[in-house]
Amino acid sequence: MSDSNSNSSNNAFKKCGLTQVLIFIAAIICGTGCSICSKTMMGLSGEGLSGTTEPFSKPIFQTLGMFVGMMFGLVMHGIVLWKKIPFPGYDVYHNSNEEQEKEEKGLMAHETTGLLNNNNNNNKKEQMTIPIWMYFFLVIPSIFDLGATALCMMGLRYLDVSIYQMLRGSGIIFVALMKQHVLRHPLYNFQWIGVGYNVISVILVGATALLNSSDESHPNVESGEALLGVLLVMTGAFVQALQFVFEEKVMTMDIPSPPLLLIGMEGLWGTVLCLAIVYPMAYYLPGDDHGSYEDPFNTWYMFVHSSTIQWSFVIYFVLIFGYNLFSVLVTFMLNSVWHAILDNFRPITVWATDVVIFYCITAGAFGEPITQYSWVQLLGMFVLLYGTAVYNAPNAGSILLEGKWVTLWMDCSPEYKEIKDEEKEAAVAAEWEERQASFKDRRGSSFIGERSPHISIHTQALRGLGTTHV
């Protein structure tokens, strides 16, 4: 690979260990439950303002519920900072606080003698608090999230659900391209191959749904409207990719945003935007909900007068927060491409869960039956797992492309060797830094400390400690 690739390899490749795998699985579980709960809420009914039973098909209300659920991240963010709870993305703030406390107690006074050390200590103190502008800066991913949701919802009006889901899954291409050309974090060739397998799996899943619902397509939609729907959904996928890449960037800046703060502020700004802009627009736009696209007064009336809708929303609230929490941690601990891979898992895990619900739990009352085309969807699941294992190389449990026929004679061995060599160099560098820190602590002790009162000026001069070296 080129020098630019080598310089950015640590950003393009992050080790996927047991912790990352568990967080990824937790995100899949929460995301699957969230999708099923959302689908279930769309099928519920309740008493409306007119006194008659109406379907509770309220996509904007669910979007608002998503943002409200994300705001709980602010509560967790405050608790983590207050109690100094170990949490991914908070090390720099915890370490800064600990160092300040030590300085206040005089335990690090011997390290403040030099001008350079004073500057370093000042920089550490600046890192202790999150700047005010960060709270306003995080309105950007909220706008991306809201815009992507709105564009995809508008496009869905002109498309089958199968085509919609297939087009949403193509967002991984935009994420990979922006990661390489915007963030300047080049991907390895084997990672591009893994992305390609993910795209193939999305096509297979979309094709399965298209075949199953071919007789339920929109007969009154003209070709021009279908093209408009495709453009809207593809634009929504692009905006969603912008959100993923922006989240990765904002969590890896010189002054990074902690993951919980990112989630919470996205939720806060998203809630404000929904209440101040989206809901007023939905109320005045013509539609089937008492003359509006979505009537917030009717939605609230139905919510208050139905315990089933209330409990469904509580479950949805918990699951949507869990999904957003774990998906942001996936972006933080791995990268934005992994976030896109996570989203591509959801259609398959939802389908598998629906099959289990149909045959094993509700005896056909709810869920989805197996059809003659389900084998194509099953094939898509295996392709997705295969592509993810290729992308995850050379970590344990991954698939290495070493020129064998089972990998279609593709050989990426030099890239795997490069990654392992860089890991060894990083381990040596980390060990050296640890030894330096240990030596610095020993020099700061009362026995051989810098300018220690227990050592005479003559002894310090003989050891080279009596004067400052330039």
**Per-residue pLDDT averaged across 373-393, rounded?**
82
Between residues 215 and 363, the one the model is more confident about: 363
Q: Which residues contact 169 (CB under 8 A, 6 or more apart)?
A: 198, 199, 202, 205, 206, 343, 344, 347
Q: Residue 399 — pLDDT band, cuts 50, 70, 90?
A: confident
Which pLDDT belongs to residue 121? 47
Instruction: Encode pLDDT of 104-123 as tens digits.
Output: 454 444 444 444 444 444 44
Which pLDDT belongs to residue 160? 57
Of 21-35, 46-60, 340-354, which range is least confident? Answer: 340-354
**Per-residue pLDDT averaged across 450-458, rounded?**
48
Beta bridge partners of 46: 54
Which pLDDT belongs to residue 227? 73
Residue 140 has pLDDT above 90, yes or no: yes
Residue 190 has pLDDT above 80, yes or no: yes
Kindly report the number of other CB atoms within 10 A of residue 423's CB atom. 14
**Per-residue pLDDT averaged across 264-279, rounded?**
92
Instruction: Encode pLDDT of 234-262 as tens digits.
Output: 888 899 889 888 988 888 888 888 888 99
Using CB atoms within 10 A of its CB, is residue 156 exposed (0-12), middle (13-18) or buried (19+)? buried
> Distance (Å, rounded) from C-alpha 64 to C-alpha 66?
5
Which pLDDT belongs to residue 298? 92
Q: What is the dihedral of CA 404, 410, 414, 418, to 10 degrees?
A: -110
Residue 393 φ then ψ, to 5°: -60, 155
Given a contact cutoff of 8 angstroms between Cβ atoms, the answer to whether 247 and 173 are in contact is no
Which pLDDT belongs to residue 266? 92
Share of the chain above pLDDT 90, in %: 11
> Distance (Å, rounded) from C-alpha 433 to C-alpha 441?
12
Residue 53 φ then ψ, to 5°: -75, 130
Length of the chain, in residues: 470
Q: Residue 275 — pLDDT band, cuts 50, 70, 90?
A: very high
Q: Which residues contact 389 (CB under 8 A, 6 or more apart)?
A: 194, 397, 398, 399
Q: Residue 299 — pLDDT band, cuts 50, 70, 90?
A: very high
Distance, CA of 280 to chain centre: 29
**Per-residue pLDDT averaged across 222-227, rounded?**
64
Which pLDDT belongs to residue 110? 45
| 394 upstream amide cis, omega within 30 of 0 | yes
Q: How far is CA 44 from CA 55, 302, 309, 311, 430, in A?
A: 6, 10, 7, 12, 56
> Distance (Å, rounded) from C-alpha 399 to C-alpha 390?
5
Between residues 164 and 463, the one the model is more confident about: 164
Q: Report DSSP letters for 387-430, one per residue.
A: HHHHHTTTSTT----BS-GGGTT-B-HHHHHHHHHHHHHHHHHH
Residue 95 has pLDDT above 50, yes or no: yes
Q: Residue 269 — pLDDT band, cuts 50, 70, 90?
A: very high
**pTM for the whole structure:** 0.70
> Distance (Å, rounded) from C-alpha 305 to C-alpha 276?
25
> Distance (Å, rounded) from C-alpha 72 to C-alpha 80?
13
What's 47's DSSP letter? E
Residue 13 has pLDDT above 60, yes or no: no
Of 27-31, 129-133, 160-164, 229-233, which range is least confident? Answer: 160-164
Between residues 280 and 376, the one the model is more confident about: 280
Share of the chain above pLDDT 70, in %: 75
Of 284, 305, 260, residue with least CA distance to 60: 284
Of 312, 340, 338, residue with least CA distance to 237: 340
> Distance (Å, rounded) from C-alpha 109 to C-alpha 148?
52
Tokens of 7: 């310089």
Residue 468 has pLDDT above 50, yes or no: no
Which pLDDT belongs to residue 373? 77
